[in-house]
Amino acid sequence: MQLLLDTHIFLWYVTGDTRLSIATRDAIDEPNNDVFLSVGSFWEIVIKYELGKLPLPQAPDRFIPAQRKAHGIQSLPFDENDARFLVGLPFHHRDPFDRMLVSQAMARVLTIVTVDPEIRKYSIPVL
């Protein structure tokens, strides 16, 4: 399976947050699964960090790559093909970062890992 982590799932996973279910952690840890973090999530983390809404042990430009590498999570660029699915995408979700993830999942046939109920309203696989 190819998993695209929602921003909160990535942060919960790398910090050992107990809100992340064991089943979700197991899916991320499964060696046969490819696990991705979108650059859209990187951007979201940077913005929240800069606004003082997301404390991190290091600045995001060091923290995110170090955590991705430590946990075997691949960076996923967001390109024009990913963006084309934003055209006509229903506004079930107003968060632009989550809309980017939905569009990216559609373009690349990925399963989004999230607890966000609004993302489940889209026609994409969700874990």
Residue 101: give the domain boundaries. 2-121
> How many domains does the chain contain in total?
1
Q: Which of 30, 36, 34, 29 is nearest to 7 (CA)?
A: 36
Whose tokens are 């079930």? That residue is 92
pLDDT, one tens digit per residue, over 35-82 is 999 999 999 999 999 999 999 999 999 999 999 999 999 999 999 998
Give the CATH number of the domain where residue 103 resides. Answer: 3.40.50.1010
126: in domain: no
Kindly report whether the global pTM for this prediction surpasses the value 0.75. yes
